[in-house]
Amino acid sequence: MSEAEIGGALSNHSESEANSSANSSENHAPTLRIKPNGAIKINGSIDFVDETGQVLSTVTDVSLCTCGRTQTAPICDGSHKVSK
């Protein structure tokens, strides 16, 4: 996945979701939780950086896709919920 694709997916992440718990996670290290559906839920703020260390985006409380069906990689868009 290219940096542009990652940046696009991250910019599509809802700011309201990021702002909803920013106050509660500002002073805490992010935590990772593997959800039963396979997604990786990150609680707290994290930076996505490129190979040079430049911050591409900062997100708060997001799920990372592990099923490969998302259209907003690397962010989970719930595509795993669609019946086969």
How do residues 60-81 score in pLDDT, each as one tens digit?
Answer: 999 999 988 889 888 989 888 8
Arithmetic mean of pLDDT, 29-50: 91
Examine residue 67 and state whether it is found in any structural domain, yes or no: yes
Examine residue 70 and state whether it is found in any structural domain, yes or no: yes
Q: Which residue has the higher pLDDT, 6 or 23?
A: 6
The answer, yes or no, to whether residue 82 has pLDDT greater than 50, is yes
Residue 45 confidence (pLDDT)? 94
User: What is the separation of C-alpha 14 from the centre of its chain, rounded to a whole number of angstroms?
Assistant: 10
The answer, yes or no, to whether residue 49 has pLDDT greater than 90, is yes
Examine residue 37 and state whether it is found in any structural domain, yes or no: yes
Examine residue 64 and state whether it is found in any structural domain, yes or no: yes
How many domains does the chain fold into?
1
Arithmetic mean of pLDDT, 28-39: 87
Residue 80 confidence (pLDDT)? 81
* Residue 59 lies in domain: 3-77
Examine residue 16 and state whether it is found in any structural domain, yes or no: yes
CB 65 within 8 A of CB 81: no
Examine residue 84 and state whether it is found in any structural domain, yes or no: no
Per-residue tokens: 44: 């707290």
User: Under 8 Å CB-to-CB from 33, ≥6 apart: which residues?
Assistant: 40, 41, 43
